[in-house]
Structure 1
Amino acid sequence: MIFKMIIYNNTSLPIEKKVDQLYACIHKMIGENGFKIDAFTCDALESETLNFTTKGIYHLYGFLETNNEQLPWSIILKVIKPDSEEKDDIKHHNYWRREALLFESNLLDHLSEYIKAPNTYLVEEQNDGTIWLWMERVNGHFAHSKEQFNFIAHRLGMFNAEYLTAKALPDEKWVCKNWLKSWTTSSRMYAPNPEPYIFKLQDEEIKYIWEWFKRLTEEINEKLASLSNLPHVLAHQDLGQKNMILTSNDQLVLIDWQFLSISGIGEDLGKMFGANMSLGIIPTDQYETYRDSLFYSYIKGMRELGWEGDERLARYGYCISTALRSVWEVPQLCSLVAQLESDPTNPKLQERVYQLKQIINIHKAMDHEAESLKD
């Protein structure tokens, strides 16, 4: 570059060395070569829930000059990294290279009319072993109301139904084939172990939950195996509130495709319902209302796309996917109850224990419903 560019780098990234890459990305974004950038800013985006394989997420933005006009531009840069040996396994639910391979494959470019993904401009391997993913910044808002979550569930049903009525599933080796099995295995490995102290706790409700939980875990392999009998669809498997962006023109854009999988119908909806209960997005007193309205909306979307199968199959996948989140949340609950017995007036502990009890009551109910559907 023959002119002096001003770079406001508020991060530790060596972004000053990436001006050529930035220009290449903006060219892809606007489809023109004749533009100039005099200055830009790079900020780190704060996130409380970064994946183990995500080193950081950054926002690059500024103005460009083209045809005597100043136009704003904005790019998201996601840096992914290796983590542990298990995440080097292509079959692992959190295989660290999956999102990079997905973007390089262009599989998401023609994803669906009903669910979109951000445009990807560049996938760049670095000398330090990380991979930089340069992508579109999507403007929109997150779901907060039941109506907005129902809209997302409806779109998810349409998206899933496409793979039962028209589209072939991808056959790339890096697409996860047993996401829920891998996730439950990892969760059981890293969750607290309440076994040594569970029956010393004074809370009788916890003891009943623990007895149910032991039966659940004894049958977990059978439950997971049963999902292979469901019709299979492409699934996102990480539908927390901040990975689902609603745009002003009624588009649903999903970000963070690290967990992309082929899963049974209903599984992705179960992840969405369960994760947003855990995150505190769905109000505690509306768990049952959301449980049923989300499923109704999901099935409605599937029917509109022409799927004529037995909706009990989708309900089974939905129930199992939600119930098996207990492999993480029951041990967490037991650990918090032990803390609460030592600190009984702690309001944050009281609130979280109450919330987890209500979540696990939903898990139990959906586990029992799955058992009734299985036959």
Structure 2
Amino acid sequence: MPDVAAAHAEVREVLRVPAHEAVFEPLPHNPWNGVTAGVWRVTGGDRSAVLKVLTRTKETSVSWAASNDPRHWNFWRREAYVYRSGLARVWQRHGIRAPRLLECAERPDGDVALWLEDVPGEPATTWTLTGHVDHAHRLGTAQGTVGAGEDAPWLSQGFLRDYTSDRTTGEALLDDDEAWQRPLIREHFPPGLREDMVRLRHDREWFLTVMESLPRALSHLDQWPANVRSGGAGTSVLLDWAFTGDGALGEDLGNYLPDAVFDLFVPAAELPGLAKAAYDAYVQGLRESGWRGDEQLVRLGVCASAVKYDWLTALMLARADEEQVAYGNEGTVPAGLRYRERGLALAFLAEWAAEARQLAPRLGFPEAPSGR
């Protein structure tokens, strides 16, 4: 439960009811992220709001630790700055908006309380494929119009490199024959995945250098169905702007598509068709916005973004004997289902990586390493 005493004045200000009349309902979120003290839906009378408390004092793993560096991907105050500056509204006229900021409270203990609109729309976790494609079109229009955006001093830089650098769990298992013979792995990972994922890890620096050299865009950097809701006709509401900053054009889309499968919101069998339709819609949105760049650079940005998940295979190897916990610690998921779907999605990312290796030299980039 949140510190109700700290929230007393905030509840009265936002919901117009005494704190003791408010009901706090915990909402799913990443419990390991060191910048998030908690997220709740708070209801009082006929009003409701979402309370998200930002902190820098939460104990967690190194890979999710809060940072005081304004450019670090996990800078603990960034989301407050995004909302208070109005940056969260920058894509609104293109059909992607953020929840309205109702109150931003600096607490005596140093935490920051964000009180946000409780968006009633349908979560993208339950959308049809058409809904995801429509969101991709809006994203293309928004990023083509806004471009790299204003370089505020608290926007993240080097997200992809820094985010992946600390995710080393199970890395040694990529070359461990026994790990690849565990039943979950042997039965559910496609043939050839080991070779593909070992090579992706081996080529990591090349992929990161390519991504850092592509056209830039103001990027959300955590786009996936759990962070998107319907906002009315032709509108998406995008949640959780904590990582916002500099990214490659196409990087947000390259994150959204595989993540939809990794957390079982879209069946892996539908990923190839979804990815093609969403990419075409994204490029169409870019063109409609007036963007006149080389579309092959966008394609390279989407395909090379596969490097964001080069650590996931190793993590799956390391956790093959563990209970499979659902996102936000909301129960469990069948281990076989998770490993089958993620294995197929990783194989799809291997195809993206292969396409990136072929495309990059034609666009003037050095060739990828020749493998191991």
Alignment TM-score > 0.5, same fold: yes
Hey, what's the Cα distance between the residues in 2 that align with 1:106 and 1:129? 22
Corresponding residue of 2:367 = none
What whole-Å deviation, never above 9, does each CA across 1:161-185 have from its counterpart, x for those lacking one?
1124xxx612112111211111111
Local SS of the residue matching 2:298? helix
Alignment of 1:222-371 (within 5 A): 222-321=206-305, 323-335=306-318, 348-371=334-357
Corresponding residue of 1:373 = 359
Q: Check the 8 A contact 2:22/2:42 in 1, yes or no.
A: yes
Corresponding residue of 1:103 = 83
Give the structure-1-normalised TM-score: 0.81
Do the aligned partners of residues 213 and 123 (structure 1) sit closer, same or farther apart at CA in structure 2, a change above 3 Å counting?
same
Hey, what's the Cα distance between the residues in 2 that align with 1:12 and 1:176? 28
Alignment of 1:70-81 (within 5 A): 72-81=46-55
Q: Check the 8 A contact 2:155/2:245 in 1, yes or no.
A: yes
What whole-Å deviation, never above 9, does each CA across 1:255-300 have from its counterpart, x for those lacking one?
1101102111110001101211111111121111111111011111
Task: Report the alpha carbon displacement of residue 145 of structure 1 after superposing the two structures with TM.
Answer: 0.8
What whole-Å deviation, never above 9, does each CA across 1:186-241 have from its counterpart, x for those lacking one?
223x4554157335644497784333323222221121111232211111111221
Corresponding residue of 1:31 = none
Do the aligned partners of residues 148 and 191 (structure 1) sit closer, same or farther apart at CA in structure 2, a change above 3 Å counting?
farther
Work out the number of aligned pairs and report it. 336
Q: Structure 1: which amino acid aligns with 2:38? A: G
Matched, 1:21 2:10: yes
Do the aligned partners of residues 57 and 366 (structure 1) sit closer, same or farther apart at CA in structure 2, a change above 3 Å counting?
same
Alignment of 1:130-149 (within 5 A): 130-143=111-124, 144-149=127-132
What whole-Å deviation, never above 9, does each CA across 1:19-71 have from its counterpart, x for those lacking one?
44344446xxxxxxxxx6478422122315345121111222234xxxxxxxx
Do the aligned partners of residues 12 and 263 (structure 1) sit closer, same or farther apart at CA in structure 2, a change above 3 Å counting?
closer
Corresponding residue of 2:156 = 176
Local SS of the residue matching 1:60? strand
Hey, what's the Cα distance between the residues in 2 that align with 1:302 and 1:119? 26
Greater length-normalized contact order (CA 8 Å, ≥ 6 residues apart): 2
Q: Check the 8 A contact 1:201/1:338 in 2, yes or no.
A: no
What whole-Å deviation, never above 9, does each CA across 1:125-145 have from its counterpart, x for those lacking one?
223332211121111002221
Hey, what's the Cα distance between the residues in 2 that align with 1:110 and 1:350? 41
Corresponding residue of 1:3 = none
Give the structure-2-normalised TM-score: 0.81
Local SS of the residue matching 1:55? strand
Local SS of the residue matching 2:103? strand
Matched, 1:57 2:36: no
Corresponding residue of 1:6 = none
Which residue of the other structure, out of 37, 47, 52, is the alignment partner of 2:28? 47
Hey, what's the Cα distance between the residues in 1 that align with 2:283 and 2:242? 26
Which residue of the other structure, out of 209, 212, 215, is the alignment partner of 2:193? 209
Of stretches 195-204 and 356-365 in structure 1, the one that deviates more from structure 2 is 195-204
Q: Check the 8 A contact 1:235/1:262 in 2, yes or no.
A: yes
Hey, what's the Cα distance between the residues in 2 that align with 1:289 and 1:128? 49
Matched, 1:91 2:71: yes
Q: Check the 8 A contact 1:319/1:367 in 2, yes or no.
A: yes
> Unaligned 5+ residue runs, structure 2?
324-332, 362-372
Hey, what's the Cα distance between the residues in 2 that align with 1:351 and 1:22? 42
Corresponding residue of 1:30 = none
Local SS of the residue matching 1:78? strand
Q: Structure 2: which amino acid aligns with 1:163? A: V
Do the aligned partners of residues 297 and 207 (structure 1) sit closer, same or farther apart at CA in structure 2, a change above 3 Å counting?
closer
Hey, what's the Cα distance between the residues in 1 that align with 2:11 and 2:179? 59
Hey, what's the Cα distance between the residues in 1 that align with 2:356 and 2:206? 12
Q: Check the 8 A contact 2:160/2:308 in 1, yes or no.
A: no
Local SS of the residue matching 1:152? helix
Corresponding residue of 2:370 = none
Matched, 1:152 2:135: yes
Q: Structure 2: which amino acid aligns with 1:147? A: T
> Unaligned 5+ residue runs, structure 1?
1-10, 27-35, 64-71, 341-346
Q: Structure 2: which amino acid aligns with 1:87? A: A
Which residue of the other structure, out of 158, 165, 176, is the alignment partner of 1:185? 165
Do the aligned partners of residues 256 and 191 (structure 1) sit closer, same or farther apart at CA in structure 2, a change above 3 Å counting?
farther
